[in-house]
């Protein structure tokens, strides 16, 4: 049997779960300005520089292309 679930319902459930946990900080309306390799270590983690002057160290980066459809 197959199941159909709307993306909106999945997003709402995921956000509700993340807010309940408290260990995740969601950054809204923030863009990545640059990504550089940490120079302190040979295999340093990538440093993700954001447009709000914050820098995040990320062990895993996942790039998701965003497509905007205009109707």
> Can you give the residue ranges of every domain in the chain?
28-60
State the Cα torsion 24-54-68-15 to the nearest 10°: 10
Nearest of 59, 62, 5 to residue 32 by alpha carbon: 62
Q: What is the spatial distance between Cα 50 and Cα 67, in angstroms, rounded to a whole number?
A: 21
Using DSSP, state whether 51 is helix, strand or coil. Answer: coil
Give pLDDT, residue 45: 85
Give pLDDT, residue 52: 93
Give pLDDT, residue 64: 73
**pTM more than 0.75:** no
């Amino acid at each position: 049997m197959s199941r159909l679930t709307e993306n909106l319902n999945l997003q709402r459930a995921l956000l509700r779960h993340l807010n309940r946990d408290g260990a995740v900080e969601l950054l809204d309306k923030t863009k990545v300005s640059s990504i550089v390799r940490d120079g302190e270590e040979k295999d340093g983690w990538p440093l993700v520089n954001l447009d709000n002057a914050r820098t995040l160290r990320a062990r895993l980066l996942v790039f998701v292309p965003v497509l905007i459809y205009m109707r």
